[in-house]
Each structure stands twice: as C-alpha cells, then as structure tokens.
C-alpha cells in the first residue's frame, strides 16, 4: 500500500513539472513567427537641425548676346543651413568663382572687336529656403531636397590691364555687379553618420547683366542663365 502511494505521488509530481515546461515551449513557438515578421523601418529621424557644408563644382555660364559675360569655370563655396519648421530650413551661403571674361572694343559700324581674355573674380552671396522631400528624416540614409535662393553677385577684379593699355573709354568698360542673382537647386544628402553627410546638388542661377552703352549703343540689361553641379561634405550639429 505504501509503495503504491509513493508511486502515485512521484507520477503526479512529474506531470506537474512537465506542464510549465510545455507551457513555456508553447509561448516560445508562438512568439518566434511574430518576431520573424518584424520589418525595420527604412526611415531615420534627423536629430541635428543645423549644418555647414563645404563644396566645389563647375558652373556653365551664358555669356550674353554680345559675348561679354563671365566664362564657364569651377566654383567653391560655403553654406549654412538651419531647420526651423519640420522639413523647411533657411540657408545662407557664399561662393567664389575664378573665371575669365572677353574684353571687346567698339570699332564702329556696330562691330565689336575682341581684344583678349582677362581674369574675373566672381563672389556670390545668397540666402534662401530648402525643403527636404522626406521630411526631417532620411530614407535608407538619403535625404533629397529642393531649394530656392536670392542674392547678389559681383566681379571683384576691377579694370583690367588690357582695358587700361587699350585706353578704352569709360562707357565701353564692363562692370559686372553688384547684380541681382536668383537660383533654384535640387540635391541629396547621403548620411554616412549622424553628423556627417555627402552633399550633391544641381544648381541653376539667373544673373542680371548690364551691357555698357558704348558697346551696345545704349545701356541694356539682360538675365544670363547659368547651371552646374556641386559636390561637398556637410557637418551637422
């Protein structure tokens, strides 16, 4: 009788020990498919709201109806951007473009004679707005954006040696700027880390250019269309 009771007690104890193990195994088996179905989001919030970028690139210029404007040339620039409302940021930038321009002389009968190419040192300062298309976040570490700017551009080279030696009259001297400049851009930030990104842009600008009266019969204004691309590094903070 005592042996039967002991055997019954041992079997009951074994069954009770197995039930929690079976229950835990059931929960693990149920949770595994749910964990496997979790898909990480491709979006990441951009924590840093400000950034400074240094870039270089190339600008293809329109020289104007009389070929008096600046030539196509490389450019270098520095830009600050600060996000203030969701995907919208304000930008301020300055760029430098070492280039050439062709000096012409009015030779009568409405004809212009090219004399030589001289140095031109273009400085452009602008401010604008930038809109990130994915909002204040990245998609697979990419943040595409569009922007618009307005500002001033000027040639700081002054009167050239060629113009001085040719004794060109004052009304035949080309003085570029300060002139209005408006622009539009589209680009993308590729975030390598939270603070560092590679920044590429396609840029287009309109420059207001004035032709002197001594070369055109009367002073004329025209808008020169310019475009190009830049590539740089941005530090975010």
Q: Are residues 109 and 23 in the same domain?
A: no
Q: Are residues 35 and 98 in the same domain?
A: no
Q: Are residues 217 and 163 in the same domain?
A: yes
Q: Are residues 25 and 120 in the same domain?
A: no
Q: Are residues 99 and 192 in the same domain?
A: yes
Q: Are residues 13 and 129 in the same domain?
A: no
Q: pLDDT in tens for each of the 237 residues of the chain?
A: 555 545 544 545 545 445 555 445 444 554 555 445 678 899 999 999 999 999 999 999 999 999 999 999 999 999 999 999 999 999 999 999 999 999 999 877 667 899 999 999 999 999 999 999 999 999 999 999 999 999 999 999 999 999 999 999 999 999 998 999 999 999 999 999 999 999 999 999 999 999 999 888 888 999 999 999 999 999 999
Range of the domain at 15: 1-39
Q: What is the pLDDT of residue 26?
A: 46
Q: Are residues 10 and 60 in the same domain?
A: no
Nearest Cα neighbor of 189 from 232, 147, 127 is 232
Q: What is the pLDDT of residue 27?
A: 47
What's the rounded Cα separation, in Å, for the pair 92 and 100?
A: 26
Q: What's the pTM? A: 0.81
Q: Are residues 123 and 34 in the same domain?
A: no
Q: Are residues 94 and 62 in the same domain?
A: yes
Q: What is the pLDDT of residue 12?
A: 52
Nearest Cα neighbor of 174 from 210, 128, 224, 202 is 210
Q: Are residues 27 and 112 in the same domain?
A: no
If one counts the domains in the chain, the total is 2
Q: Are residues 29 and 59 in the same domain?
A: no
Q: Are residues 32 and 53 in the same domain?
A: no
CATH number, position 193:
2.40.160.20
């Amino acid at each position: 009788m005592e042996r039967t009771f002991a055997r019954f007690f041992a079997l009951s104890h074994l069954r009770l020990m197995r039930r929690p193990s079976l229950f835990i195994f059931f929960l693990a088996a149920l949770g595994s498919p749910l964990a496997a179905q979790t898909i990480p989001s491709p979006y990441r919030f951009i924590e840093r709201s400000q950034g400074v970028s240094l870039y270089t690139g190339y600008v293809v210029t329109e020289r104007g109806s009389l070929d008096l404007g600046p030539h196509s040339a490389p450019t270098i620039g520095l830009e600050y951007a600060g996000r203030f409302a969701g995907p919208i940021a304000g930008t301020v930038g300055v760029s430098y473009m070492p280039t050439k321009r062709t000096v012409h002389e009015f030779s009568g009968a409405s004809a212009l004679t090219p004399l030589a190419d001289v140095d031109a040192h273009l400085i452009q300062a602008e401010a604008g707005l930038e809109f990130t298309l994915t909002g204040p976040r990245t998609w697979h570490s990419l943040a595409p954006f569009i922007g618009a700017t307005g500002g001033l551009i000027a040639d700081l080279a002054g009167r050239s040696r060629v113009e001085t030696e040719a004794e060109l009259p004052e009304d035949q001297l080309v003085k570029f700027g300060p002139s209005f400049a408006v622009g539009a851009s589209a680009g993308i930030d590729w975030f390598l880390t939270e603070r560092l990104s590679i920044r590429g842009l396609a840029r287009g600008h309109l420059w207001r250019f004035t032709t002197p009266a001594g070369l055109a019969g009367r002073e004329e204004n025209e808008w020169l269309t310019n475009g190009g691309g830049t590539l740089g590094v941005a530090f975010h903070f």
